[in-house]
């Protein structure tokens, strides 16, 4: 069984919600990313979403754009990322790892080879923000063969027809985009978010996790009351950015993640 499915099954049994924590691989360095991953596990993060930096991140706001630029300075490659995950697994890193990557690096790597090597090195799934369901059949095919999940996004603008189609192809969980817009920190989330998540949940047995714009422990709490999981990205990346030049970066980001975790499980 895929680690993602195992994790959600266990959470459901205990009536708990998932905290999905995002970091960009290589920000500020690949070594620090590995240490952050282990710290996240210690602080109770349920799934790790690892972003692969891309030169043209059209779905990302300024915080993750800057993280991508910092990471690209280390010329990180998918191969490096796979190696890092493999070494984390050897160090007792057990939680599911989902890659977030734009399509071109994966297309360039070769979809079959990508799925094979990702799975072999201990990754469990991938989210591709610029790959709609219409263009996803090769990856779905390779993924099915190796139980490697292609996670789909549903947006507030997705109509009923698209939602049905996405839900039918879904694996792992559904990534619900909370706002029409790019990733980033926001003061308020849309009012009809709760209603929309509830109606999506009625359409599918898969867990629904909410991401984009979740930035505070309070908000994480509010969302965890309706969704099966909360995805936090930019707010964590901003903590990394703020503390980059100081000592104790990993511990400080760990404390923030721990505060999120408390609210998600409250």
Partner 1 sequence: MGPDKEGKFGEFGGVFVPETLMVCLEELEREFQKARRDPSFQKELDRYDRLYAGRPTPLYEAKNLSKRLGGARIFLKREDLCHTGAHKINNTLGQALLAKRMKKRRLIAETGAGQHGVATATVASLLGFDCDIYMGEEDIHRQALNVFRMELLGARVISVKSGSRTLKDAINEALRDWVTNVRSTHYVLGSCVGPHPYPLMVREFQSVIGKETRREILKREGKLPNILLACVGGGSNAIGLFHPFFNDRSVKFIGVEGGGKGLASGHHAATLVTGELGVLHGSKSLLLQDREGQVQSTHSVSAGLDYPGVGPEHAYYQKIKRAQYVSVGDREALEGFGLLARTEGIIPALEPSHAIAYAKKIAPKLSKKSILIVNLSGRGDKDVELVSRIKNKK
List of residues contacting partner 1 (CB under 8 A):
54-61, 65, 72, 75, 77-78, 103-109, 129-132, 134-135, 152-159, 162, 166, 177, 180-182
User: Which is closer to partner 1, CB of 87 or CB of 104?
Assistant: 104
Which residues lie closer than 8 Å to 54 by C-beta, 6 or more apart? 68, 101, 102, 104, 105
- Among 49, 111, 196, 228, the one annotated catalytic: 49
d(CA 81, CA 118): 9
At a CB cut-off of 8 Å and minimum separation 6, what does 198 contact? 226
Residue 243 CB, nearest approach to partner 1 (Å): 23
**In terms of CB distance, is 123 or 154 closer to partner 1?**
154
Q: How far is the CB of 182 from partner 1 (least distance, A)?
A: 5
Nearer to partner 1, 2 or 65 (CB): 65
Catalytic one among 5, 34, 60, 196? 60
Give the separation between CA 143 and CA 122, rounded to whole angstroms: 14
Pairing of β 18-24 and β 229-232: parallel
Closest to partner 1 by CB, 131 or 240: 131
| Shortest Å, Cβ 157 to partner 1 | 5
CA separation for the pair 68, 65 (Å, rounded):
5
Active site residue 49: yes
Distance CA 222, CA 20 (A): 15
Q: What residues act catalytically? A: 49, 60
């Amino acid at each position: 069984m895929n680690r993602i499915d195992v994790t959600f099954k266990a959470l459901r049994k205990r009536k708990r919600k998932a905290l999905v924590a995002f970091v960009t691989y290589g920000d500020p360095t690949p070594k620090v990313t590995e240490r952050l991953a282990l710290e996240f596990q210690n602080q109770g993060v349920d799934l790790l979403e690892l972003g692969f930096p891309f030169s043209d991140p059209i779905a990302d706001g300024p915080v993750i754009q800057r993280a991508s630029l910092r990471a690209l300075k280390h010329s990180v490659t998918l191969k490096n990322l796979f190696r890092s995950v493999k070494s984390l697994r050897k160090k007792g890193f057990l939680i599911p790892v989902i890659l977030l990557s734009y399509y071109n690096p994966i297309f360039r790597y070769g979809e079959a080879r990508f799925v094979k090597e990702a799975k072999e090195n201990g990754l469990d799934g991938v989210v591709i923000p610029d790959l709609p369901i219409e263009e996803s059949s090769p990856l779905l095919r390779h993924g099915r063969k190796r139980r490697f999940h292609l996670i789909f996004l549903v947006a507030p603008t997705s109509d009923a027809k698209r939602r049905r189609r996405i839900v039918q192809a879904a694996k792992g969980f559904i990534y619900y985009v909370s706002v029409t817009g790019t990733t980033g920190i926001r003061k308020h989330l849309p009012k009809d978010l709760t209603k929309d998540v509830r109606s999506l949940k009625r359409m599918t047995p898969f867990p629904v996790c909410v991401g984009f714009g979740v930035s505070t422990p309070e908000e994480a709490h509010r969302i965890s009351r309706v969704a099966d999981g909360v995805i936090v990205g930019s707010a964590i990346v901003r903590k990394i950015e703020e503390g980059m030049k100081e000592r104790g970066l990993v511990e400080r980001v760990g404390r923030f993640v721990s505060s999120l975790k408390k609210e998600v499980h409250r």
